[in-house]
């Protein structure tokens, strides 16, 4: 069953397995999320859009459009909303709560988040370019060099790798193994790293 859940990154640590090997893990606080909307398709074989809400918020902080969206379905107000597609939408209902019980130890999940922003960076740090010579009178140490062809075509092609803002983009890490699940505190431990810094919103998807 495909499932989507929102959560937050708690931090990283390491654990030891029975063989004594060190495993780098990331601790996540996942859910609980509430299904706020189900956009059904005409054909049952098609996927339906499932909207979930995460983290309660004071209704005074919402505009009338979002407030009416929750009041119409008699649901509490949520700070974050996210949609995902599911073929098994007949088994879901509005107001149903999704939590870590939907996940199992040993399964693989995909986690999306916003990577840590590193500000304006040069082309060497951003794209791992090599530097120029440092001796023999060279003044081309960290300069980008030529960026175009000349009169023809007379422009720089889009997507040219140059200096610019680094990080702060959506990143998805696929097939992260679930190491452990704490249902009481809604904690999930996964093997490996997760994009973003501590406290960042993350989206877990499993198909």
Per-residue pLDDT at 44: 57
- 70-to-57, 66, 96 alpha-carbon distances in Å: 12, 7, 14
Residue ranges for the chain with pLDDT beneath 50: none
pTM of the predicted model as reported, rounded to 2 decimal places:
0.79
Per-residue pLDDT at 36: 87
Q: Is the peptide bond before 135 cis (omega within 30 degrees of 0)?
A: no
Per cent of the chain over pLDDT 90 is 37
């Amino acid at each position: 069953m495909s499932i989507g859940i929102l959560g937050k990154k708690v931090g990283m640590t390491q654990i030891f397995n029975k063989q004594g090997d060190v495993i780098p893990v990331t601790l996540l606080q996942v859910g609980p999320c509430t299904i706020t909307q189900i956009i059904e398709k005409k054909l049952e074989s098609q996927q339906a859009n499932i909207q979930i809400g995460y983290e309660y918020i004071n209704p005074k902080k919402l505009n009338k459009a979002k407030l009416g969206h929750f009041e119409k379905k008699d649901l509490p107000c949520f700070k974050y909303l996210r949609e995902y597609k599911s073929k098994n939408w007949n088994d879901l209902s509005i107001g149903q709560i999704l939590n870590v019980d939907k996940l199992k130890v040993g399964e693989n999940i995909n986690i999306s988040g916003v990577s840590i922003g590193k500000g304006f960076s040069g082309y060497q740090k951003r794209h791992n370019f090599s530097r120029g010579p440092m001796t023999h009178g060279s003044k081309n140490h960290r300069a980008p060099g030529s960026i175009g062809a000349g009169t023809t075509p007379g422009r720089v092609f889009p997507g040219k790798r140059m200096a610019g803002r680094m990080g702060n983009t959506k990143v998805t890490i696929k097939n992260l193994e679930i190491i452990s699940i704490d249902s009481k505190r809604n904690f999930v431990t996964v093997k490996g790293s997760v994009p973003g810094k501590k406290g960042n919103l993350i989206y877990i998807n499993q198909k």
